[in-house]
Amino acid sequence: MPKIAIDPITRIEGHLRIEAQVEGGKIKDAWSAGTMWRGIELIVRNRDPREVWAFLSRI
Amino acid sequence: MRAVENALGITIPDNARIIRNLISGIQYVQDHVIHFYHLHALDWVDVVSALKADPNKTAALAQSLSDWPNATPSYFKTVQGKVKTLVESGQLGIFANGYWGHPAYKLPPEANLMAVAHYLEALDWQRDVIRMHALLGAKNPHPQTFLVGGMSVPVDPNSQNALNAGSLALLQSLSKKALEFVQKVYIPDLLAVASFYKEWASIGGGVGNYLSYGEFPNDNLSNTKNCWLPAGFIRNKNLSKVEPVDHMKVTEDAAHAWYKYSDGDDKAKHPWVGETVPNYTGPKPPYEFLDTNKKYSWVKGIRYDGLSTEVGPLSRMLIAYASGHKRVKEVIDGVLKKLGVGPEALFSTLGRTAARGVETLVTAEMLSVWVGELAAKMKSGDLRIHNGEKWDPSTWPREAKGYGFHEAPRGSLCHWVVIQDGKVANYQCVVPGGWNSSPRDAKGQRGPYEEALVNTPLADPNRPLEVLRTIHSFDPCMACAIHVVDPERKELFKVRAL
């Protein structure tokens, strides 16, 4: 019963990893893991609300 | 943008709303077409098999589906020659690292060749039509012309330094070009490919809860309920009831996510009181597997009303369909009829991929309507593009809270902001990828990707093409490295997948 790990699955917001348990030719269970820290919420703290869109729309 | 406008009680002018709709609209159309051809199609289309196609039969197939002009035997022969050169060189370039020859590929060689030809055509097409986004947003991606209170792009039919009559004519011709490709190439290809993979209408369904905040507002209020694509929540695949959306029902927990909450990681917190304190407890890389009984992701357990919820084109189209949206209903019913399946087929990997096509078509149809609205406004002499009444921080309350909805191409996005003394005191973003890729929550409920993968058949576990089909159907833009390991955790092989 192999376990599969797909890593990384890159995407605009970061990276993704999938782990899956395979049994009898079918996936029995799966796990999805974001493998990158984003933290953009912390970057905009204490900034002028009129300029934060320019940071946040980069997500 | 909308979160701050909502916090400060700002209403934007018509011109700004229409331009925002157009920027989002062309982004849907370009993104979805790129996703279908360049990120997803090769899960269904075997490029190498296209070499065996008869160009005459391919032309006959293409002509039977559409009156798109690039459908002659000599055209397909040329495309086939390009593919042949690539394959024979041993350097597949953009087609490298596919699972070519995998038993789960079902298309005849002619359909494969036609799809490869359109893959190449779509590259040229998208470069051209996205000029709409650049005209209105100054560039693509990441437009520069947004401004709290409206837009920073002036509109004036008679000025050389503004969006003028010439710009409107160009926008109108690009809208036409965008729609024509969707009507004559994307939709016929989607239906042709789908007809060979109908078993995927019962695979990859997932959690069955669907959310849309609504998008393309018809009025200028922040977070309006009056949108061209309606807001709603569908619970447990029940299309007979669309519940209204309440942003207070959105929560995030950190039971399986690498964060520390001050009052317990299992607590489901609304984003206004959300916390972003990283707490990585996973293995030190390189590692083979995560301990999925503990924390295993940087994505929080995002839930709506406590439920794992899918977002994206399928959610939007289901909510529009179930809300009686006339055009969406007409197109979806047409697609279902053509494929000979019922609405339950929509809750699947194939349904997700088909819904993206339906959304592209109905959105592409609206582009020229919105350009027309903008032209009528400008003609009437209304050139307002920005509401500056609350630009000066001295007009703001000491504390303000807001939230801003947006339906991005990939799904529901909301930002929550708390403003204190003119500065951002707290900010939380809950993004489409977060909803769909979220891990288990404190109750152990699987996230949408996780649930959608359960029971997916694998013809060859060493080449898990079927996993890619379902994950790609959610549109997470990926190029992934795949490792398959046996129970003794010995690595059997390593491949890169498209």
Give the pLDDT confidence of B257-284 residue by residue, as tens digits: 999 999 999 999 999 999 989 999 999 9
A32/B447 touch (CB, cutoff 8 Å), yes or no: yes
Q: State percent of chain A over pLDDT 90.
A: 39
From the list B146, B477, B479, which residue is nearest A12 (CB)? B477
- Rounded mean pLDDT, B321-332: 98
Q: What is the pLDDT of residue B498?
A: 32
Q: Which residue has the tokens 């279908």?
A: B36
pLDDT digit string (tens) for B416-441? 999 999 999 999 989 888 899 999 99
Is residue B414 within 8 Å of B404, Cβ to Cβ?
Answer: yes
From the list A37, A45, A49, which residue is nearest B278 (CB)? A37
Q: What is the pLDDT of residue B444?
A: 97
pLDDT at B489 over 50: no
Average pLDDT, chain B: 92
- Chain A residues with CB inside 8 Å of B464's CB? 4, 6, 20
Q: What is the pLDDT of residue B202?
A: 97
How many angstroms separate the CA atoms of B292 and B271, rounded?
25
Which of the pair, A6 or B470, is modelled with greater confidence? B470
Q: How many helices (H) and strands (E) does chain A have?
A: 2, 3
Q: How many CA atoms lie within 13 A of B317 on its CB side?
A: 29
Distance from CA of A42 to the nearest CA of B (A): 7
Phi and psi torsions of A33, nearest 5°:
-130, 120
pLDDT digit string (tens) for A1-59? 578 887 765 433 457 788 999 999 999 999 999 887 777 888 999 999 999 998 887 76
B431/A59 touch (CB, cutoff 8 Å), yes or no: yes
Cα B344 vs. chain centroid, distance in angstroms?
21
B186 burial level (CB within 10 Å; 0-12, 13-18, 19+) = buried
B interface mutation test: which of A17, A18, A26, A48 has the most B CBs within 10 A?
Answer: A18
pLDDT at B334 over 60: yes
Least confident of B88-102, B127-141, B333-347: B88-102
Least confident of B89-93, B94-98, B399-403: B94-98
**How many C-beta atoms lie closer than 10 Å to residue B57's C-beta?**
16
Q: What is the pLDDT of residue B189?
A: 98
Q: State percent of chain B over pLDDT 70.
A: 95
Q: State percent of chain B over pLDDT 90.
A: 84
From residue B292, alpha-carbon distances to A16, A32, B191, B439, B441 in Å are: 14, 9, 38, 9, 12
A39/B276 touch (CB, cutoff 8 Å), yes or no: yes
pLDDT digit string (tens) for B138-189? 988 889 999 999 999 999 999 999 999 999 999 999 999 999 999 999 999 9
pLDDT digit string (tens) for B353-385? 999 999 999 999 999 999 999 999 999 999 999
- Chain B residues with CB inside 8 Å of A2's CB? 461, 484-487, 492
Q: What is the pLDDT of residue A34?
A: 85
B interface mutation test: which of A12, A31, A47, A59 has the most B CBs within 10 A?
Answer: A31
Q: What is the pLDDT of residue A12?
A: 33
pLDDT at B107 over 60: yes
Confidence of residue B232 (pLDDT cuts 50, 70, 90): very high
How many angstroms separate the CA atoms of B195 and B472, rounded?
19
Distance from CA of A2 to the nearest CA of B (A): 5
- At CA B230, angle to CA B222 and CA B187, rounded to 5? 125
With b for 16 or more beta-carbon neighbours within 10 A and e for fewer, the B238-269 pattern comes to: ebeebbebebebbbbbbbbbbbebeeebebbb
Least confident of A14-18, B82-86, B181-185, B212-216: A14-18
pTM of the predicted protein model: 0.94
From chain B residues 292-321, the ones with a CB under 8 A of any chain A CB are 292, 296-299
- Rounded mean pLDDT, B347-352: 98
